């Protein structure tokens, strides 16, 4: 299909590599003779018809830049059907032939609804540090977030060992344990608490103390690093730290990594992924594919329908789970 104009936006939690993806969409569109515009502030820009033209000069040097030049935002209004109709009208008014939505599962829910009322392609590109989208091996931003978490855990290890302290390190992920699980394995943490397997504070505390006890008996250094997904411990991490300190008699410190995990220059894996998925999104628009995610599956680009299967949270990698249990016991 001959396409003349493509629009792109970034929505939901920003992720390193979103800029690289905007660049890829722009350059791929230009290469097939299309103009490109970028809506600002996620779906807000679409509702307010607020956009900027994109060309090869605007996207120059974006590959390595963190954040998103289009800004990201949440947009509650977009959940209302009449606002989604308005968005479709705005796209029609300026003759857009296809829209690329770079975002997470929430943004994809919006994209799916927009597709239902607009007859040109809406394509999602998975951009979230959480890596929680079914149908794609990875999401743009995830590798960089893991890298940041791992570097921080390595540093925490140094000070934890110096004082032989327990550290509880809180990482992002909303309700998904990908960042926690794989950063914990990659940094050789001693324990990891995940939303997918969490039972109750009482049971988890017993498991932590049990492992801590074994570790402190068997290891030369008595430090202990616990990685936990944000918002998981009932009552907050101070509650966990107080219980741990009271039960073990060991000094406990808490570190919340927070939004640093969303920033920084994307690592090469995210740059490459963003470039592939952005380019493939434009191909899908050319093929008049509608309501699809431009995904990566077994290292190849794949068109995955934005349906109820895709919009459920991706299960954790079973092999990572297996080695978490085996390796963190050995340590």
Q: Enumerate the active-site residues.
A: 130
End-to-end CA distance of the chain: 56
- Using CB distances below 5 to 8 A depending on partner kind, what does residue 11 bind out of ligand ADP, ligand FBP, none? ligand ADP
Shortest Cβ distance from residue 127 to ligand ADP (Å)?
8
Residue 40 per-residue DSSP state: S
Ramachandran sector of residue 288 (left: φ over 0; alpha: ψ -120 to 50; beta: rest): left
- Residues near ligand ADP, by CB under 6 A: 11-13, 43, 74-75, 78-79, 103-107, 109-110, 113, 128
Task: Output 122 or 241, the one with its CB closest to ligand ADP.
Answer: 122
Binding status of residue 143 toward ligand FBP by CB under 6 A: no
8 A C-beta contact, residue 262 and residue 14:
yes
Shortest Cβ distance from residue 261 to ligand ADP (Å)?
14
Residue 132 per-residue DSSP state: -
- Using CB distances below 5 to 8 A depending on partner kind, what does residue 129 bind out of ligand FBP, ligand ADP, none? ligand FBP
Task: Output 256 or 317, the one with its CB closest to ligand FBP.
Answer: 256
Task: Output 101 or 185, the one with its CB closest to ligand ADP.
Answer: 101
The rounded distance, in Å, linking the Cα atoms of 142 and 148 is 10
Site string for ligand FBP, 194-233 (x = CB under 6 A): ------------------------------------x---
The rounded distance, in Å, linking the Cα atoms of 33 and 45 is 24
The residues, any chain, with a CB within 8 Å of residue 301's CB and separated by 6 or more, are 276, 277, 280, 283, 294, 295
The residues, any chain, with a CB within 8 Å of residue 118's CB and separated by 6 or more, are 87, 88, 91, 92, 99
Nearest to 293 by CA among 162, 183, 129, 134: 134
The rounded distance, in Å, linking the Cα atoms of 123 and 21 is 13
Ranges within 159-178 binding ligand FBP (CB under 6 A): 172-174
Ranges within 87-116 binding ligand FBP (CB under 6 A): 104
Binding status of residue 128 toward ligand FBP by CB under 6 A: yes
Task: Output 98 or 141, the one with its CB closest to ligand FBP.
Answer: 141
3-state DSSP call for residue 229? strand
Shortest Cβ distance from residue 243 to ligand ADP (Å)?
32
Phi, psi (degrees; rounded to nearest 5) at 185: -65, -45
Task: Output 49 or 256, the one with its CB closest to ligand FBP.
Answer: 256
Ranges within 243-262 binding ligand FBP (CB under 6 A): 262
| Residues that bind ligand FBP in the complex, under the rule CB under 6 A | 12-13, 104, 128-130, 172-174, 230, 262
């Amino acid at each position: 299909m001959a396409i003349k104009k493509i629009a792109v936006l970034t929505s939901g939690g920003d992720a390193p590599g979103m800029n690289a993806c905007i660049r890829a969409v722009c350059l791929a569109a230009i290469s097939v003779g299309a103009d490109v515009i970028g809506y600002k502030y996620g779906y807000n820009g679409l509702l307010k018809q607020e956009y900027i033209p994109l060309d090869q000069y605007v996207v120059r040097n974006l590959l390595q830049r963190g954040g998103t030049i289009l800004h990201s935002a949440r947009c509650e209004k977009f959940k209302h059907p009449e606002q989604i109709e308005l968005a479709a009208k705005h796209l029609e008014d300026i003759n857009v032939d296809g829209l690329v939505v770079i975002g997470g599962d929430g943004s994809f829910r919006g994209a799916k609804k927009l597709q239902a009322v607009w007859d040109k392609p809406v394509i999602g590109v998975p951009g979230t540090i959480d890596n929680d989208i079914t149908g794609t091996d990875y999401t743009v931003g995830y590798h960089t977030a893991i890298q940041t978490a791992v570097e921080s855990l390595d540093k925490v290890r140094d000070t934890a060992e110096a004082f032989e302290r327990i550290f509880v390190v809180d990482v992002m992920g909303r309700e998904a344990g990908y960042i926690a699980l794989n950063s914990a394995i990659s940094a050789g943490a001693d324990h990891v608490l995940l939303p997918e397997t969490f039972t109750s504070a009482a049971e988890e505390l017993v498991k932590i103390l049990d492992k801590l006890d074994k570790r402190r008996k068997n290891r030369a250094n008595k430090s202990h690093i616990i990685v936990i997904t944000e918002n998981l411990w009932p009552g907050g991490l101070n509650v966990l730290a107080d219980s741990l300190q009271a039960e073990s008699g060991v000094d406990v410190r808490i570190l919340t990594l927070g939004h640093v995990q969303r920033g920084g220059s994307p690592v090469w894996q995210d740059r490459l992924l963003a470039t592939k998925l952005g380019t493939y999104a434009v191909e899908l628009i050319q093929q008049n594919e509608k309501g699809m995610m431009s995904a990566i599956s077994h290292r190849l680009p794949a068109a995955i329908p934005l349906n109820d299967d895709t919009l459920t949270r991706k299960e954790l990698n079973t092999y990572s789970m297996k080695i978490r249990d085996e390796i963190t016991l050995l340590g």
